[in-house]
Structure formats: structure tokens, C-alpha cells
Amino acid sequence: MRYEHVIVGGGLAGGMVAQEFREQGGEGSVLIVAREAHTPYHRPPLTKGYLRGEAGPDEVFMHPDEWWQQQSVEVRTGTEATAIDTSAHTVTVGGDTVEYGKLVLATGATPRTLPDTVSIRTVDDSDSLAKKLAAGSGHLGVIGGGFIGVEAAASARMKGWDVTMAVPENVVWEHLFGAEVAAYFQRHLEEHGVKVHTGTRELPDGSYDVKLAGIGVTPNTQLAEAAGLTVSNGVETDDHLRAGDDVWAIGDIANYQSVVHGKRIRIEHWDVALNQGAYVGRTWAGKEDGAYSVVPYFFSDVGDWTWFEYVGPGSGRVDVRGSMDDDDFVAYYLDDSDRVVACLGVNRSDDVEAAKTLISEHQAAPAA
């Protein structure tokens, strides 16, 4: 059994490889190995609109099942790749040995768990919690102050639930954006009734209908490591996302050499999965030969109360322009030479877009 192109991982990153490959005129057989019982889909709605019942499956899944068939992309759902032999160019899939010409690993990540808690990573996880939220009022306890926890907390509050959070930092998202900017988002949570307990990893005593752990994820690198690929905080790749001969790694697992930042970075964002998958798809189709040079981008909604866009990553002195009170500001993060290394904007899309160039060209922030 041989496929010219094998994609291990059925998330957005893997789906984008196949989609872009076909859209760029790529020819040859394509196999996607998907652990979940679903074709590729987008994860951001799972804690937001989809969780609240405002967005349907058509806004979550990349394409209807028929689309993949029409594009001659075979998607094996509910199937795992269990071994890779890079010298023989083979991958073991559900007990079958499959030869490949080119292979990309897009195996994603697994949520860290705590006893007696649920997590949200898959569409099935979101469906399960959505049914509970829709059934009536209740009390949600959230452990952790990352994006998943904050987004789910806001969604549950919008559905009329009581929500209590236990956040290890002094302010929600402090480690991501610094205390000054993070306080803006915590204010919105608290003003809309979310009880935020900071500096703790434990929920206060009380009766909780559901406890959600939002304490991060662990990249799924076991398959790559067993295959002899270099793994350190993810699968190491070069600046073309190559992890070995005819092997690429993308998405949550990719610890890639960034030509923008001049160092290795690994990012667990939707936009990175989308762009890295598309990049490899173009590469396979013979339409891309430059280094991967996209500035990482991220966005999030806190309920329907506020939202932001962010490019980076980076940290440093914060220069805030505009008004947090009016939900209209931009925050530049500057290094020791006052060059922009990251930017967050609320209702400042143009500034955030312009910051991509500032970051990639190592420029200072515009004049105030």
C-alpha cells in the first residue's frame, strides 16, 4: 500500500496541507490519518460560538465529508499511526504498513488533566459540555487561566451559569500580556459576573456541576521521537518546517526555526496551524520554496464582551496607546532597543496588521 503524500493528524494543520496541495494543482495520492472520528475542523469555536449553540457544524468543519472525496483525499477517521520508519519511508496505520513519498506530522496536542475535571479539545468535548449548559443553570468551576479556561468561562456565564475561576497568576493572562493589559481582560470577566480567584490552583469550596481544567496541553511528539526525529519542546524542524528527509512537522508539535525571530519557537495557535499547513501544501505542489516566514497571529473573544488580536510572540516593555476604558487600544511590546516584538489590539485591526511588518523588520513602534 503506497500513498505519495501521507498526513498524520486530522486537525486543521493536516487538513490545510491537503486542501492547499489540491488547490495549488498538486497531483498524486493523499492520505490523512485522523485519530478522531471526524474529518478536519476548526477548534476556536469549541469554547465560543459552537459551545453556546450559536454556530453550527458547518462553521466548525473545514468541509463536508463529500468534499474530501471529490478532491481525492482519503481521510481515515478513528485511526492512529503507531510507527514510522524514515529509512524505509513507511508508516504503520491501523496495523497496515503504508509506504509514503512525503510525510507530514500534524499530531497536535493533548490537554493536561486533573482528577474529576473535564477538558475541551475536541468537538465531542464541546458537544458534551454544551448539552449541560443548555439544560439549565448550574455552576462551572474553571481551574487555570489560559485561553480555553477564559473563553469557556465567558461562554458559560453567557448561558446563565455561575462561574468561578482559580487562576495561579496574580491577574488572568498576566504571563501572556503583562499585568497592565491582563487587568483589562480580568475586569471584563468580573464585571460580567465571573468570580476570579487569583494566586491559587484550587477552587474555593462549593458545589460545582462541572469542573473544567484549562491548564495547557502537551504536544504529541511520541511518534516522532520513536522514529528518531529530534524532539525538544516539540519536533525540531528547519526554517522550511522539515524534520527529516521527506518529513515535515507542523502545528502544535512544530518547534521550528523562525526566520522572523532568529530562534526556535513553538506556538499552539489556530493561525499557525492554518498557515503552516498551507505552506507545506504549497511546498508539496511545487509552488513554495522560500523559508516559512509568517508572523504568528492570534485572536480571542471574551464572550461577546470584548475581543482582541495579537501578533508576536514576544515580551518586553509595554507601550499602550488609546483607551482601555473605551475598549479601543493597542499595546506594543518593545525589546531593549525599543523594537516591536509583539502587539495586541482591541478594535485596532489596522495597527495589529501593521505591526506584523514592524516585527519582521525589527522596527520601532510608530510615533505616538
For 165, the grid coordinates are 475561576
Record the cell numbers describing residue 296, joined without a space: 504568528
User: How far is it, in rounded angstroms, from Cα 352 to Cα 88?
Assistant: 46
First to last CA, the chain: 61
| Cross-strand bridge partners of residue 213 | 143
pLDDT at 120 over 90: yes
- Walk me through the domains of the chain, giving residue ranges and CATH numbers: 2-110+217-284 (3.50.50.60), 113-213 (3.50.50.60), 314-360 (no CATH)
DSSP for residue 16: H
Q: What is the pLDDT of residues 52-104, one digit of tens each?
A: 999 999 999 999 999 999 999 999 999 999 999 999 999 999 989 999 999 99
Buried (b) or exposed (e) across 262-292, using 16+ Cβ within 10 A?
eebbbbbbbbbbbbbbbbbbbbbbeebeeeb
pLDDT of residue 324: 97
Q: Do residues 223 and 188 touch, judged by C-beta distance below 8 A? A: no
Q: Calculate the average pLDDT of the chain.
A: 97
pLDDT above 90 covers a percentage of the chain that reads: 99
pLDDT band of 368, cuts 50, 70, 90: confident
pLDDT tens digits, 248-304: 999 999 999 999 999 999 999 999 999 999 999 999 999 999 999 999 999 999 999
